[in-house]
Structure 1
């Protein structure tokens, strides 16, 4: 092998959520590439080079990493959360698919991380206790009509639904469009949870219902969880609320 390229997940926020394996991989890299806000979470070791780029330059970043690895360097690309969930691992393999010669004699690996939906679920209780699906509301890389179709079919199939990228400055209203689609299938009392900036100092958790979900605020750092028909809320004596989805499904 002439070099090594590893795609690493940093988890959703705090440093203690970076796995030991991911930390060890980063520590031995010659070059670390990533979106600037992710690199800001790390401190370069002696002799390391950090290369930051914009969050819409995934394919350019992946190609650059492959070229560096081809020159014999140990290269790491960092992603938030898990690198295989709406993140850089797919961009790396898309680059290889488009130009297989870029991967000649490179040892390519993916080092998993804690993805945002798992961190959000842990804060809330056990909403993913039964079958669930994850859908990104970003229509930068797929048409909105497909997103609406997936939302409707997932709701009809009684999945717990986790929404990534629910709102941004460029897409402030799509989360409301998503709720309108879900309201045609799911009952108004369906539990909805908003988990924002989980693991960070400005973390916030809001548990509401589908009928009132449009009143909640969310942004790109929010994961929205829509319960299945069997998802339940449990209220503790201290006023805390947990959300869980039973492991069993009764016959229809």
Structure 2
């Protein structure tokens, strides 16, 4: 049959990223303990298209993804996936992003009841032909924040809210990326108190009082997170967005920072 996509294009415009978006497949994400966790991933998978080609072969993206969805996945597998895309689609660069819910174990601070907390995460790999893959890990970590100003001016109590820190990190070539579990633990320490899916009354008392003793503005959380990320060995770049879902306003408090670590 006639291959229209493979015909020449005379407009002289190379397309930087073309491919598939919002595909959904199960994947096996490697865990810190050496095992894996099955997740449902939302996928963005693209390549660069030279100006002389009319279109890319969309079916090949799914053909590449299917076998990898059945193997435990981390950085090496992401790079092999992208290398395959470069070869099969005759491209100079390729990018894949997998967004998924990842569950970490949590233990209540007093009752020690066990539960799991869901985190929004992503893996993003970008590869140029002949170069090493650039890998980015993204994790959204929720926690509690308590307002220092409210505590200072109130005779009793202080307003607090649920907050989230959206963090993305990249590490230097040759340095392994941090595990999701470790990055989440590092970030949630920067809030006023961690969040737990399952709390008994004695736990609720504990976390309420812990937050009260550790008040932080959104700016405090962001600056403390910057210092925490700078301390990671081999980190090359990070971005942070902190958002407090305010309990006494009809808007949220927000702070953001991006940094290349020299």
Using the size of structure 2 for normalisation, the TM-score is: 0.30
Using the size of structure 1 for normalisation, the TM-score is: 0.30
More helix by share: 1
Q: Which has the larger radius of gyration?
A: 2
Q: Which has the higher contact order (CA 8 A, sep 6+)?
A: 1
